[in-house]
Amino acid sequence: MKILVFILLATFISACSLPPRPSDLEGLPVITYGQQSPAGEEFILHFKAGQPINTNIKIHGNLFEKPATSTIAVKLKKDIYAYKKWVSSDRKIWVDGDSVLGIKLLVKIPGPKFPKPGLIDLSIFEK
């Protein structure tokens, strides 16, 4: 009995890590980044190539006389669809986002070890 439970549990865990098939996602709304997402419903988020993706930057705290805020925009070279932890470029083949996308963040604060202007360097790349 314990072996059967173990096999069923192992099968369930491995099935949970399988990417969705296109037929699994049929009927889900595709929301373009920037549009309102449906409240409480699953959806696929579409980042269109060439469409601005805004990012807000804010530096603040009680050390500063005045906080600084800025909005910057980047544009993708190709379409990306995102569903939960999965990403796709064509909505047919889905892969784990962590296996194909990498993120590196470097933050340098001016001080004795870095006597230069501060630096926030975010790199997002295909693996």
Q: For residue 41, give both structure tokens.
A: 């419903």
- For residue 24, give the amino acid letter: D
Cα distances (Å, whole numbers) of residue 22 to 5, 72, 100: 30, 34, 19
Averaged pLDDT for residues 11-39: 83
Q: Is the pLDDT of residue 8 over 60?
A: no
Strand bridging mode 119-126 / 101-108: antiparallel
pLDDT at 22: 87
pLDDT in tens, 72-92: 999 999 999 999 999 999 999
pLDDT at 3: 56
Judge whether 103 and 76 are in contact, CB under 8 Å.
no
- For residue 110, give the amino acid letter: P
Judge whether 58 and 69 are in contact, CB under 8 Å.
yes
